[in-house]
């Protein structure tokens, strides 16, 4: 089979629903065509250019507009001649009271808002862009008939499927923009999926993204926030164990007292040097120490005036060279800080040597603490829970 014939793309241009272009500056340009029945053709690549020329040629036969949600997606708009004719005829722009057609003058001195919006809808359906529509209106109705921003606004509404030309009473917004049905529909969508984006909500309700933004933030009072990071996911069993441990420690702390200079309280718990349970607890932990630890972004913040130049901070990675450090402390300060030699690892036997050094440090820095008793608190690492330890 001929390779060229194998990759031919053929379809009726009236069946085209949309097409997607490749991102700029990403290799060869390509176009993906999508039909109304859902058929998606393979990407049509342009190795020697020509994609823009093809799109310009397509505009001679179909009305193409860029998607408001995806700048790479282009939609093919279908025309409804009967609907357009009805919207113009309802205004009776071209007939007198007897029903006979009249000839429009070169300069219309009187007009209504509905008339202007109907003309915008008609010219927009005729594939005129916003600037061209604005110029046509100014030439027929005068320079101050409507602003370019309002023309853009109504073109977006008509392209989104709106057909009502009237204002909400007392205001200049469409009745369907923030109706109770739309507010209720947005609330239901958010309850179904709280990760929905604004353009997805607007697409589901067939409304503008600005209208969806107003409903979500102003009417319903939603705010989109990121989930809070936590170190670990605790199960109910883990939470219950921690609750029991905290209650037991609190009980020991409240019941601790000295009994004629002895080392135990009424519950048989060890007491610290000054007679409190918390002072008898010594905590230990290990951590990696890097040769170079860069400062965080918050530490480099400086005060500046609006006219002052913005400082630059280059990204610096932590050094790969590191050593293991071990520290023990109690309520009154650090008792022991020890670092391993580069390349040395800590195991149960090595941890026993560290505990011997800790015992000597307690004897020197906390006289009498060993006699009164010590409660050592550390995590459940294997070297901590080994039998030899």
pLDDT digits (tens, 9 = 90+) for 47-68: 777 777 888 777 777 788 888 7
pLDDT digits (tens, 9 = 90+) for 110-168: 778 888 888 998 898 888 888 889 888 888 888 888 888 888 888 888 887 777 787 65
- Tell me the pTM: 0.36
Cβ–Cβ under 8 Å, residues 328 and 284: yes
Per-residue pLDDT, averaged over 356-377, amounts to 87
67 DSSP 8-state letter: -
**What residues have CB less than 8 Å from 23, skipping those under 6 apart?**
72
Give the pLDDT mean for 342-363. Answer: 86
Lowest mean pLDDT among 98-112, 253-267, 339-353: 253-267
pLDDT of residue 309: 81
pLDDT of 260? 35
Contact between 281 and 377 under an 8 Å Cβ cutoff? The reply is: yes
Phi, psi of 18 (to 5 degrees): -165, 170
pLDDT digits (tens, 9 = 90+) for 247-284: 887 887 777 654 334 444 444 454 544 556 777 888 99
- Cβ(51)–Cβ(23) under 8 Å? no
Q: What is the pLDDT of residue 78?
A: 66
Is the CB of residue 193 less than 8 Å from the CB of residue 201? Answer: no
H or E element at residue 351: helix 348-365
Q: Which residues pair with 65 in a beta bridge?
A: 75
pLDDT band per the 50, 70, 90 thresholds, residue 26: low
Interatomic CA distance for residues 361 and 364, integer angstroms? 5
User: 151 and 134 in contact (C-beta within 8 Å)?
Assistant: yes
Q: Are 271 and 366 in contact (CB under 8 A)?
A: no
Q: How confident is the model at residue 349 (pLDDT cuts 50, 70, 90)?
A: confident
The confidence score (pLDDT) of residue 336 equals 92
What percentage of the chain exceeds 70 in pLDDT? Answer: 79
Are 170 and 203 in contact by the 8 Å Cβ rule? The answer is no
* Token pair listed for 23: 């991102």
- The pLDDT value recorded for residue 79 is 54
Task: Provide the pLDDT for residue 102.
Answer: 44
How far is 187 from 165, CA to CA, in rounded Å? 27
């Amino acid at each position: 089979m001929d390779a060229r014939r194998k990759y031919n793309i053929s379809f009726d241009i009236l069946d085209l629903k949309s097409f997607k272009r490749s991102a700029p500056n990403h290799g060869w340009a390509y176009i993906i065509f999508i039909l109304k029945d859902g058929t998606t053709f393979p990407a049509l690549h342009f190795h020697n250019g020509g994609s823009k020329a093809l799109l310009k040629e397509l505009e001679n036969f179909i009305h193409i507009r860029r998607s408001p949600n995806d700048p790479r997606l282009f939609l093919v708009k279908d025309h409804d001649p009967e609907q357009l004719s009805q919207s113009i005829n309802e205004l009776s722009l071209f007939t007198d009271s007897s029903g006979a057609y009249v000839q429009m003058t070169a300069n219309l001195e009187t007009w209504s808002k509905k008339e202007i919006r109907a003309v915008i809808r008609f010219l927009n359906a005729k594939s005129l862009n916003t600037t061209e529509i604005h110029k046509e209106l100014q030439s027929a109705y005068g320079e101050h008939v409507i602003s370019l921003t309002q023309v853009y606004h109504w073109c977006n509404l008509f392209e989104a499927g709106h057909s009502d030309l009237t204002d909400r009473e007392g205001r200049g917004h469409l009745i369907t923009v923030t109706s109770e049905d739309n507010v209720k529909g947005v609330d239901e969508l958010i309850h179904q999926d709280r990760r929905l984006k604004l353009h997805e909500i607007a697409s589901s309700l067939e409304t503008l993204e600005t209208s969806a933004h107003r409903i979500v933030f102003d009417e319903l009072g939603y705010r989109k926030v990121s989930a809070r990071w936590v170190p670990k996911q605790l199960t109910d069993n883990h939470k219950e164990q921690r609750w029991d441990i905290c209650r037991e420690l609190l009980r020991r702390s409240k019941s601790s007292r000295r009994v004629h200079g002895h080392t135990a309280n009424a519950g048989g718990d060890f007491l610290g040097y000054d007679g409190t349970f918390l002072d008898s607890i010594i905590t230990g932990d290990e951590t990696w120490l890097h040769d170079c630890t860069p400062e965080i972004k918050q530490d480099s913040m400086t005060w500046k005036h609006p006219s002052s130049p913005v400082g630059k901070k280059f990204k610096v990675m932590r050094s790969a060279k590191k050593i293991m450090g071990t520290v023990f402390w109690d309520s009154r300060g650090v008792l022991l800080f020890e670092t391993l030699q580069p390349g040395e690892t800590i195991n149960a036997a090595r941890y026993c040597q560290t505990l011997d050094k800790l015992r000597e440090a307690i004897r020197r820095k906390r006289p009498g603490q060993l006699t009164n008793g010590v409660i050592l608190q550390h995590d459940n690492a294997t070297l901590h829970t080994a039998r030899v330890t």
